[in-house]
Structure 1
Amino acid sequence: MDATNALGEFLRARRALVRPEDAGIRRGGGLRRVPGLRREEVAMLAGISADYYLRLEQGRDRNPSLQVLEALADVLNLDAPATAHLIGLTRARPSRTRRSGRAGDSGRASRRPEPVPPGILQLIDGWPGNPAYVENRFTDVLAANALATALSPNHSPGVNLLRAILLDETERELRRDWEELTEAGIAALRANAGPDVDDPRLVELVGELSVRSERFRRLWGRHDVRPKLARVMRLRHPKVGDLELQSNKLAINGTDGLILKVFHAEPGSRDAELLGILGSLAVSREDRHDDRSASASDKHQAVDEQ
């Protein structure tokens, strides 16, 4: 990822996805050397000079007018989120103090995470029947309740969820809509990052996934930009079988892009029944863990008294 010329990188990727015939350009008899539109074709359709468009792609002009950007968005068939992303790449942004670190093979980030507001922690713990977790804009999980962890162990603090979904085979087996989910997740990562393409955490994550996941490398190179919306999560859980849960995300005000993800099943449905069974299993497991901890504590106390 070339953080020094994010605008040019975006323009090159998006023009490669536009078929000439869709832009009203008739193909000639010869072979085209580039996929999608040529630079001069983009410039002609946008009503700007070829030399000026070349300067934009090469990063030699980083302050195009809003009129030029909107014309380019029209030529490149960008929707509203992608157009906003294009405009954001050309606008100055405030500097931010960041901490960076390396993520180990477990997928757990070594950087200090932003604290989750105590009220949010109390809220998700008070939802025993609804899986819920908090993630940052780079999909690092910061907090989760017991039912969310019962759905997937990767819904656990310290795990990067996008990394897990792409690289963990058990996660791929869990997600019945893995193809759709990974495509949406990668487009949402770019939308969440916005123009802040040089954030150390983003650079770290993109670098690792580009090396370890061919699917990530290919989809990231498309520069798709789509905020993650409410969706149905389709799972094949090893304990309760197939279930479908509605997924909703809520922005947490007063934080640097923290998101609360909540899942629920339609009341009275089989999915709700299965979710209840999974919740009972999670409670039983916690009770057994507490009993073992108490037993171990009693043994230590007995030894101390001797």
Structure 2
Amino acid sequence: MSGLLALLDDIAALAKLAAVQVDDIAAQASRVGVKVAASVIDDTAKAGAKAAGVVIDDTAVTPKYVQHLPAARELPIVWKIARGSVFNKLVILLPVAMLLDNFAPWLMTPLLMLGGMYLCFEGAEKVVHVFSAHDSGHPEPQTLDAARLEEERVAGAIKTDFILSAEIMTITLAAIEAQGVFTRGLVLALVAIGITALVYGAVALLVKADDLGLKMAQAGRLKTTRALGRGIVKGMPAVMTTISTIGTAAMLWVGGSIVLHGLEAFGAGGISHWIEAVAASAAHALPAAESAVEWIVTAALDGVFGLALGLVLVPLVGRVAVPLLRVVWK
């Protein structure tokens, strides 16, 4: 009997030890899980901030694809483009980005620089367009029916989105500090989904804002409501212009910054070091707002560099690259 009691006592002791071990394992797993979650959230926020310039431009560019189409088709068109954007990011670009990250990481900096040059080119082209004497835009062909025009608009928007999405994914991947294929892939997917929701949610609000304003102006019960509706209708062109201007400035800033950091990685950091020195001097001159001044000066000079580079690229692309491509593809 005493032997049985001793055996039961040993079993109880082992059970207590096992419970303690399980509790320790659970606590460790919980801490690791919290750390991983915090790392994912932190990397997602940082990567999203890095891609801000492209996001703003994407938001500013997309509304033009629903112009001159029936109002009832605006939101369905935005939804189609958003679905195409998700496909671009998650099905095509995410696997390609992860393969490059794991098997050819040395390609990431050159690809980032190419993307940065593209942003500088796009930003500079918009600046040139603003100051040009004539409108170089092509009018919509009036012979197309609404359904055909919608299809072409959606296809064009998804192609443009592919280029911008590729830049977003490359910038995001370069900004992720976490290690491990799963974690990096998760952050990349979260940023892709979050940015797509942000961009096309904002686009949906923008394209329907004038309709909402018109409804408020016509059917509002209060005088204040009607006045607000009229203000929305009148103010939307200025809002779109402001967003476009901010998007252009952000493209030049982000593009210039990416190219400068790439040059620095290849040992040509003279311009970057000069910008850092100028920003530091400006910050020391205003110690009350040192960090803000340093950031503003750095961003402004990065943008100036981006504009200068873009102004060089615009004629090169128009007079050299495009004619060569036409010859190759004939």
The structure with the largest alpha-carbon Rg is 2
- Do both proteins adopt the same fold according to a TM-score greater than 0.5, normalized to the shorter chain? no
Output the TM-score relative to the length of structure 2. Answer: 0.25
Pick 1 or 2: higher relative contact order, CA cutoff 8 A, min separation 6. 2
**Hey, which of these two has a bigger chunk of helix by percent?**
2
**Hey, which of these two has a bigger chunk of strand by percent?**
1
